[in-house]
Amino acid sequence: MKVETHNINNIKIAEVISTNNIINNTSDGLDLLGNLYYQDFDKIIIHEKNITPDFFDLKNGMAGEILQKFSNYRIRLAIVGDFSKHTSKSINDFIYESNKRKQINFVASQSEAIKVLSNQ
């Protein structure tokens, strides 16, 4: 795992780069949050391909538990990916509501993630 730093208008954004899954379970998500938080990042980009597909099955509670911690610590998160393959109404509603609140964002590209996170 590599962390690339984007500095936009004095805003420091961490982009997590990896060829492997970074989040396989709730503990992995919380470890990532803690690790980057203590490196003074309060805005993070992670790619959908680095998250277990279980995350997007809302019945198991993984997404809710991880994303609640990001909200509690006021860490803004952008998850980059193609979410059109997720066809369940619940995950699509979850993505829609998350994007409205702006704390957790599901976006299609890295440039969109940087744009969303660099806006206060």
pLDDT digits (tens, 9 = 90+) for 72-106: 999 999 999 999 998 889 999 999 999 999 899 99
Residue type, 23: I
Spell out the domain ranges in the chain.
Answer: 2-118
Q: What is the pTM of this model?
A: 0.94
Tens digit of each residue's pLDDT (9 = 90 or more) over 7-51: 998 899 999 999 999 999 999 999 999 999 999 999 999 999 999
Please, are residues 18 and 80 in contact by the beta-carbon 8 Å criterion? no
What secondary structure does DSSP assign to 80-99, as a single string? ES-GGG---HHHHHHHHHHH
What's 2-118's CATH class?
alpha beta
